[in-house]
Amino acid sequence: MKILVVEDEKELSKSIVTYLKEINYVCEVAIDFDTAMSKIQLYDYDCILLDITLPDGSGLDIIRYLKAKNKMEGVLIISAKNSVDDRIEGLQLGADDYLPKPFHLPELSARVEAIIRRKNFGGNTVICFNEISIDTIAKVAYFSDSPLELTKKEYQLLLYLIANKERVISKNAIAEHLWGDEMDMANNYDFIYTHIKNLRKKLMEKGTADYLRSVYGMGYKFTDR
Amino acid sequence: MKLLSKYSRVHIITACTILLISSFAYYFIIRTILLKQIDKDLKVEEQEILDYVVANKILPHASDYKHQQIRFQKIKSSVAFRSTVNTMEYDAKLKEYEPYRRLSFPVRINNETYEASVYKSQVETEDLLQLIMLITAVLFIVLLSLIFIINRFVLGKLWQPFFNTLLQLKKFDLQSMQPLILTKSSIEEFEELNRSVTQMTDKVRKEFEILKTFTDNASHEMQTPLAIIRSKLDLLIQSSFETQVEQLQAIYNATGRLTKLNQTLLLLAKIDNNQYQKPEVVSLKTLLESKFQQFDELIKGKHLTLKYDLQEVCISINKDLVELLLNNLLSNAIKHNYQRGSIECILTAEKFLIANPGPALSFDSANIFDRFKKGSNSDGSGLGLAVVKQICDASNLPVSYFLLNDKHVFQISLAGKIR
């Protein structure tokens, strides 16, 4: 999977690239409008992470160009502006998703994964992790073809963990993913633990290995290693 | 006291005093003049009597005409004084005492001294005085009414520009960004007032705008560094050692708080800038029920009892804003609650109430909606209720806080917004 990161903040793009590379994405970086345009004209990408405010142009123009050329790239806007208008304009122009800064990297990768999955029409809408498979259209998770009885939150959690497999995900990132940032519960993450515990229990009851590891004090990790 | 009534009062009191003093003075002056006139007549009569005595060596007949009587009386003393006095005389015809002016003077005939008294009725004088006083009184009343009317209407009209300016000032709203429009006045003082007020409000608006832009920009600019910190943390935990975990988690939490704070400031700026306009018809009941669902884990996590009584109420409001509003009120009720406490929600066509028991406020409840106002034990941003207030203000929903039976109650009045 090839991803273009258009972001003028070098440190941020470096973090994004480091994180995404670990999940086996191929990443390229463009730090300004011109570089981004020339890269888009030369190569095809599966997904473009696009900052709207670039030093020499607007990210919205890049989306317009993509749509004019009928390019199939998925576009995820990452913007510091987070204004309703920008979001609406971006999505109306044809961007696939909008992620306001500051975001958690696991959130970003989950969104990228979702975009790529959706863009792959007719392709694979099923995500697999060893014997666990998730039908993202029916929103059902299976363990070796037998469906897992998961609640909505547990399903979302599993999807999120698998999209960030082998990575440590902080409790903060999980809380934000599951409940959004509007629920200002000020670092009270006890309720995450309940969901993790239940999900792990349900997986283990079906006979999976203990993939869901708790990383001391920090968060959780979905891994078979 | 109102300017007009104060002015009227001073005016009327002054007018009354002057009129009273002047009418007394008027009365006495006219009375003196009239008495002088009578005295003159009496003197003429005296002269006639004296002339008659000199010519005829006898006393004239005592006479009693209407309004004039002449009497003679023999007196023993050879010394008699000439005197003029006011007396009351019995009028046989009218059967009552009438005021008279009497002039007494000695008349000598053949070594005998008589005291001649000429009486002149003052009835006419009194009548005249009464008439004059009546006219004065009427004038008095007319004058007072005129002063009253002038004060009431003319002054009211004169001061109209002032009241217009005052009204505009009262309506002046920084949020709306509307410049103050004052009606022109032909009166220099009011025109000057208007100029100063316009200048001042323009300045205030400009400063406010600058402040708002600053908050807006500062918050925007902070997003990127925050994003960098967050992304670095997300990377750092991939390879952290257990010894660093606590520090990392602390940084995570602090970054989270900073992010939340920043986003809330941005949100406030956005509501300020009226970026949430499009109202739509929202069913509060449905929305609340979905919020209860959303907050279910948090409510259960604290073992809270949720009691609610919701009527079907639809209001016209921006959906994003009303969601934020309910989010903030609910998380507030959960956060500042006791373990195993309760939350009560009541929704009627008139109002929405949310009540929860909780520790007493450590600050004056009048400041509860102020930005960054929070209890000493709260780890929130101190902006949640400020957002509530701002949303309510922007949507014309009066919101209030009060303590009832040891419960913190937030009440939003829905009257006027019902669809």
Domain range summary for chain A, segments of one domain joined by +: 2-119, 126-222
Determine the pLDDT at residue B208: 84
**Range name among A96-100, A159-163, B295-299 with the lowest pLDDT average:** B295-299
Quick check: B238 and A167 CB within 8 A? yes
Q: Shortest Cα distance from A88 to chain B (angstroms)?
A: 13
Give tens-digit pLDDT for B371-410: 888 877 777 778 888 999 989 988 888 999 999 888 999 9
Determine the pLDDT at residue A3: 92
- Domains in chain B, start-ordered, CATH in brackets? 3-155 (no CATH), 172-275 (1.10.287), 280-413 (3.30.565.10)
Helix, strand, coil % over all residues of chain B, rounded to 5: 55, 20, 25
| Chain pair A-B, CB pairs under 8 angstroms | 130
- Cα distance between residue A91 and residue A76, in whole Å: 9
Reply yes or no on whether the pLDDT at B293 is more than 60. yes
Does A165 reach chain B within 8 Å, measured CB to CB?
no
Of 3.60.90.10, 1.10.10.10, 3.40.50.11400, 3.40.50.720, the CATH number of A126-222 is 1.10.10.10
Averaged pLDDT for residues B127-148: 86
Reply yes or no on whether the pLDDT at B120 is more than 80. yes
Chain A environment of B339 (Cβ under 8 Å): none
From the CB of residue B145, how many other CB atoms can be counted at a distance below 10 Å? 10
Calculate the CA A221 to chain-centre distance: 15
φ/ψ of A223, rounded to 5, equals: -150, 155
Kindly indicate whether the ipTM for this predicted assembly is greater than 0.90, answering yes or no.
no
Determine the pLDDT at residue A181: 65
Q: Which of A40, A84, A29, A30 is nearest to A63 (CA)?
A: A40
Q: Which residue of chain A has the CA closest to B217?
A: A81
Residues 174-193 of A with CB under 8 A from B: 179, 181-188, 190-191
Reply yes or no on whether the pLDDT at A123 is more than 70. no
Quick check: B235 and A18 CB within 8 A? yes
pTM of full prediction above 0.90: no
Q: Shortest Cα distance from A220 to chain B (angstroms)?
A: 10
Of 3.40.50.2300, 3.40.190.10, 3.40.50.300, 3.50.50.60, the CATH number of A2-119 is 3.40.50.2300
- The token pair that represents A223 in the structure block: 């891994």
- Cα distance between residue B169 and residue B163, in whole Å: 10
**Closest Cβ opposite residue A15 in set B235, B248, B276:** B235
CA angle in degrees (0–180, nearest 5) for B93-B96-B97:
115
Helix, strand, coil % over all residues of chain A, rounded to 5: 45, 25, 35
Helix (H, G, I), strand (E, B) or coil at B112: strand
Long-range contact pairs involving B367-376 (C-beta distance under 8 Å, separation at least 24): B368/B401, B369/B399, B369/B401, B371/B268, B375/B336
The answer to whether A6 touches A36, Cβ cutoff 8 Å, is yes
Reply yes or no on whether the pLDDT at B256 is more than 90. no
- Cα distance between residue B62 and residue B69, in whole Å: 7
Q: Shortest Cα distance from A148 to chain B (angstroms)?
A: 22
φ/ψ of B350, rounded to 5, equals: -90, -40
From the CB of residue B155, how many other CB atoms can be counted at a distance below 10 Å? 16
The answer to whether B265 touches B386, Cβ cutoff 8 Å, is no
The per-residue pLDDT of chain B, averaged, comes to 85
